[in-house]
Amino acid sequence: MAKVRMIYVCRECGYETGRWLGRCPTCGGFSTLEQSEAAPETAKKTPADAKNAVALSDVPPMRESRTPTGLSELDSVLSGGIVEGSLILLGGDPGIGKSTLLLQICQHLGDRGKSILYVSGEESARQIKLRADRLEVNTKKLYIATETVMSEIEKQIHTLKPDLVIIDSIQTISGESAQSAPGSVAQVRSCTSALTRIAKESGASVFIVGHVTKEGAIAGPRVLEHMVDTVLYFEGERRETYRIIRAVKNRFGSTNEIGVFEMRDKGLTPVSNPSEYMLAGRPINVPGSVVTCSMEGSRPILTEVQALVCATSFNMPRRTATGLDFNRSVMLLAVLEKRAGLRLSTYDCYLNIAGGIKIAEPSLDAAVIAAAASSFTNKASDPYTVMFGEVGLTGELRAVNMADKRIAEARKLGFKQCVIPAANLRELNKPENCRVLGAANINELLVSIHIL
């Protein structure tokens, strides 16, 4: 019998070493290395056994078969629906609505004649039944299995031959091949590898629920995200009614789309017009409030950028940014002070994007500049004006993409004026019932909205 070789694996990043270390040299985590059995070495293939390379032109084309989930926002994030034989990882905070979302998918697929196997390692069948009754999920094609052993789950899949398999959650499943606790690096990798093989061989789609850390990342090794086809993050505050699904990896489509849902008594309801939700309750004629338009994939979304600038009694003024990149917001405040002459060095500045959404697009720069200047001068901008544009270090306003779609979204919600980079005016078809102004730098931007 071959001797079992033991190694130490970091549970955060998957780094492997032959001896124990107090600190992982890759991710820098302390006491994160756990003992595990090394994978058995496979027999080396001889050159005669190796498969010959195949020309790309000789590879037969594969048609992606997609199944709609019944939730329009989720279908948009998945670029049309669930791909047959794909592995989808769904992560989110506890209580955010992951299990609720998956049960609603089960109802729609069951109505279409698809069979579903729901494997739960955290809840009993009665608990799942209680939630299903609340959500009015009553399809007869849904089968519940409360199992945590991977070999037993494989038997259930081979017996039922379902079209969709849901694992809730992968951190509770353990396999006999890895001698370690459930949720460890070896167990997560082993179980995910088995599920990948099952999905590719049987053609069944697999949803894997993953826990997240306090930083918001998927708990466990990063290798889990590399092994699956699609990674979805469920974002939002449990105290709020709105949730956002974002794809950070998608082998079968775009990763730029987001889905917006509202949590109600009967489950999650897609929000078809996120702009209207983002601007709900927006104050009118209040300094420090500006509306901008950002692009999430191919979808324009209007959001409100808020700023509060007030004098500080400390030597070092405070800077806070919620919903946007902190370092970029500090840079924009420095540009505003240098190029527009607004002395913000003795003022605290608090920036916020209303609605709980996070935006990393540079087109937000113009709105951040305008909101901070509005709060500093205590002058309110026109409440029916939308502005967008990227700001450089010299104070120039740079062109952004899809200006036509942004302006069309503003018109649809009743805005009368748009202030955009002057470079975008050259290739823009001027719309009706909406005045479009061009600004070459931040001074022209602030003058056009009557702040300077």
In this structure, the answer to whether residues 302 and 248 fall within a common structural domain is no
Q: Which amino acid appears at position 219 of this protein?
A: A
In this structure, the answer to whether residues 13 and 135 fall within a common structural domain is no
Domain CATH for 345: 3.30.230.10
In this structure, the answer to whether residues 237 and 346 fall within a common structural domain is no
Range 351-372 average pLDDT: 92
Question: What would you measure as the largest C-alpha separation in the chain, in angstroms?
Answer: 83
Q: pLDDT per residue over 27-42, tens digit each?
A: 888 888 877 776 555 5
Encode 126-152: b = buried (16+ Cβ within 10 Å), e = exposed.
eebeeebeebebebebbebbebeebee
**Within 10 A of 430 (CB to CB), how many other CB atoms are there?**
9
Q: Is residue 365 domain-resident? A: yes
Pairing of β 87-92 and β 205-210: parallel
pLDDT of 374 > 60? The answer is: yes
Mean pLDDT taken over the chain: 87
Domain CATH for 160: 3.40.50.300
- C-alpha 419/C-alpha 438 separation (Å) is 6
In this structure, the answer to whether residues 22 and 116 fall within a common structural domain is no
Q: Is residue 207 domain-resident? A: yes
Q: pLDDT per residue over 413-424, tens digit each?
A: 999 999 999 999
In this structure, the answer to whether residues 77 and 180 fall within a common structural domain is yes
Q: Which stretches within 323-430 are classed as H helix?
A: 326-340, 365-377, 403-412
In this structure, the answer to whether residues 307 and 412 fall within a common structural domain is yes
Q: Is residue 45 domain-resident? A: no
Q: Is residue 1 domain-resident? A: no
User: What distances in angstroms separate CA 334 from CA 312, 327, 448, one per listed residue?
Assistant: 17, 11, 21
pTM: 0.76
Q: Is residue 54 domain-resident? A: no
- Residue (of 158, 168, 249, 173) closest to 208 by Cα position: 168
pLDDT of 215 > 90? The answer is: no
Q: Is residue 53 domain-resident? A: no
Q: Is residue 413 domain-resident? A: yes
How many domains would you assign to the chain? 3
CB 372 within 8 A of CB 340: no
CB 131 within 8 A of CB 168: no
Q: pLDDT per residue over 380-421, tens digit each?
A: 999 999 999 999 999 999 999 999 999 999 999 999 999 999
In this structure, the answer to whether residues 230 and 307 fall within a common structural domain is no
Q: Which residues contact 221 (CB under 8 A, 6 or more apart)?
A: 9, 10, 11, 12, 13, 14, 185, 188, 189
In this structure, the answer to whether residues 267 and 387 fall within a common structural domain is no
In this structure, the answer to whether residues 171 and 255 fall within a common structural domain is yes
In this structure, the answer to whether residues 15 and 119 fall within a common structural domain is no
Predicted pLDDT of residue 236: 77
Identify the band that residue 372 occupies on the pLDDT scale cut at 50, 70 and 90: very high
CB 22 within 8 A of CB 30: yes
Identify the band that residue 238 occupies on the pLDDT scale cut at 50, 70 and 90: low
- C-alpha 147/C-alpha 337 separation (Å) is 61
Q: Is residue 363 domain-resident? A: yes
**Within 10 A of 254 (CB to CB), how many other CB atoms are there?**
13
Which residue range is the domain that position 192 belongs to?
Answer: 66-272
- C-alpha 335/C-alpha 327 separation (Å) is 13
In this structure, the answer to whether residues 265 and 303 fall within a common structural domain is no
Q: pLDDT per residue over 57-82, tens digit each?
A: 888 877 778 999 999 999 999 989 99
In this structure, the answer to whether residues 215 and 301 fall within a common structural domain is no
